[in-house]
Structure 1
Amino acid sequence: MKALLTVFLSLTLSACNYPGMQQRLAQGKVLSFERSKGNCLACHIIEDGEDPGNIGPALVNIQEKYQSKDQLQAIIWDATQFNANTSMPPFGKNKILTPEELELVTDYIWSVNSLTSANK
């Protein structure tokens, strides 16, 4: 199991290093921290984020919490489809994020643990 996890993390880190992906992740981070767009820090703790909120869970171990990046993106698109009582805004459904911005934010949030591992 540990060997399988090591292979998975290696592949994930490799994917983060293909040309253009680092730029996508940087754009996603900006959107995630931007108050008029993702504003993830209003509710979540994210590495490198200043003054995070505590309404939502800390955005760590994302790849363990969700089975795929598509599942994470569906939550960001409209969390109410999974939990009618959520306080998370439907970022895609309400057009807070464009489809491209939604993909960038999803890529960044999905990669947070991978980036942490790569930087240690």
Structure 2
Amino acid sequence: MNRIGAWIVIAGLVVATAARAQSPALDGKAIAFDRGKGNCLSCHDIKGGELPGTIGPALSDIKARFPDRNELVGIVTDETRRNPQTMMPPFGRNLILNDQEISAVVDFLYTL
């Protein structure tokens, strides 16, 4: 491959990398409220949500309740590790949500 060809390949990689970096962030609220994904509203009362459940605690003042973000990620990923008797689905362990979706949901919860 000549120099021009190599530069074209490098330029293409730079453009592709920049496009991935600029992709829109996942919407944690949309995931949390989506009855087919997070479905947090089926158990929790969340500001802005319709028809909330009452099985789990109301989700408010989250940053104060969970100052360690990793703890909240762990709860959403698999609360059975912390509380084997929980009714909360293990969203990560059961592959209901992937790591990026869990992170987006936690980001949203931190706004509550």
| 1:67 Cα deviation after fit | 2.6
Q: Alignment partner of 1:64: what SS?
A: helix
What do the CA deviations read for 1:54-97 (whole angstroms, capped 9, x no partner)? 00000011112113111111100000011110000000111000
**What TM-score, normalized by structure 2, do the two folds share?**
0.75
What do the CA deviations read for 1:81-120 (whole angstroms, capped 9, x no partner)? 11110000000111000111111111101112xxxxxxxx
- The amino acid of 1:90's aligned partner reads P
- The amino acid of 1:105's aligned partner reads V
**Number of aligned residue pairs:** 90
**Structure 2, unpaired ranges of 5+:** 1-21
Counterparts of 1:1-120 in structure 2 under 5 Å? 24=25, 27-112=27-112
**Structure 1, unpaired ranges of 5+:** 1-19, 113-120
Q: Alignment partner of 2:111: what SS?
A: helix
Contact 1:24-1:107 at 8 Å conserved across structures: no
**What TM-score, normalized by structure 1, do the two folds share?**
0.70
Regions of 4+ moved over 6 Å: none
Q: Comparing both structures, which one devotes a greater share of its residues to helix? A: 1
User: Higher Cα Rg: structure 1 or 2?
Assistant: 2
CA RMSD for the aligned pairs? 1.5
